[in-house]
Amino acid sequence: MYVDNMLTRDRFVIPRRLLPSAMLLGQSPGNSGGIPAVTLTELRRAGVVTNAGRLKDEAASLLGVMSDAALVSSIEVRGKGTESASTIWATTRGAAVGRQVDEDMCELIPIRPTSLPVVMAHIVEIGRRPEPPFFGAGLLADGALELALDRIADAPSTAIDILVAAGLDRTWADRLLIAHEHMRSHWSVSSVWTDQMGSHHVRSVSVLDGGAAGYWRIEAQPISPPSSRFSVVTLAQVMRLLRSTIPPTDTLSV
């Protein structure tokens, strides 16, 4: 991973359940009052807290960024049989990545604010894919795709019929099922931030990485019945979508 090569000496691996306590310490680095002694002991073992119960300098800087973050981005990546979640926190002075190590542990890594687009692209594993010889979009009722995927192994034609009945024409139904057959991952990014004027912003993007079948953007539609729009997009469009979830750090409130 890209962040593996950045500031490795300052990374911390701690139990996920201790993260709220660690961030609380980040708000008041010199005050551990209110933190249970057993929690401080565990944070000490993780290398976050000194024997005196104070945050180590490098941990204080990292957790301070996380506590004061004006930008928080949540990233979920689901593959075939795999799933991962990461969080990015950023201020004008610094940024950090939190990622799952396993079910119990998380890793916190400081990064440069200017590296956010590169780090985020690496987390979702953006890369060149063959561009399909077609472009366009199709509208599909929610739940239909999951139902079709459940039937495709035993009855491929039935799977296509399900998608057609839910709103796609037969050609697009076949293309979407092929994209899922070659799927590398389905990832989503949701960002919330506050700018220097105090205004709040929310941006989200969801993409199906269909491998040899290219990239597909998935957009929820405010209609009834609930539906999603599936559109084929290029690598350049995917990068623009990803960057739309990351404001320039010098425009953040802190």
Tens-place pLDDT, residues 105-119? 899 999 998 899 999
Q: Are residue 106 and residue 143 in the same domain, yes or no?
A: no
Range of the structural domain that residue 13 is part of: 2-123
Q: How much is the mean pLDDT over the chain?
A: 87
For the record, the structure tokens of 64 come out as 């301070």
Identify whether 245 is part of a domain: yes
Cβ contacts of 233 within 8 Å, gap of 6 or more? 207, 214, 215, 216, 217, 241
pTM for this model (two decimals): 0.86
What do you get for the CA distance between the two ends of the chain, in Å?
28
Identify whether 217 is part of a domain: yes
Identify whether 130 is part of a domain: no
CB contact burial 56-79 (16+ within 10 A = b; e otherwise): bebbbbbbbbbbbbbbebbbbbee
Q: Are residue 205 and residue 153 in the same domain, yes or no?
A: yes
For residue 194, pLDDT beyond 80: yes
Largest Cα separation within the chain, whole Å, is: 67
Identify whether 128 is part of a domain: no
Q: Are residue 111 and residue 171 in the same domain, yes or no?
A: no
pLDDT in tens, 8-28: 456 888 888 888 888 887 776
Identify whether 236 is part of a domain: yes
- Write down the pLDDT at residue 30: 60
| Length of the chain in terms of residues written | 254
Number of domains in the chain: 2
Asked if residue 65 lies in contact with residue 110, where contact means CB atoms within 8 angstroms, the answer is yes
Q: What is the DSSP code (8-state) at residue 43? A: H
pLDDT in tens, 176-189: 999 999 999 999 99
For residue 133, pLDDT beyond 80: no
Q: Are residue 186 and residue 84 in the same domain, yes or no?
A: no
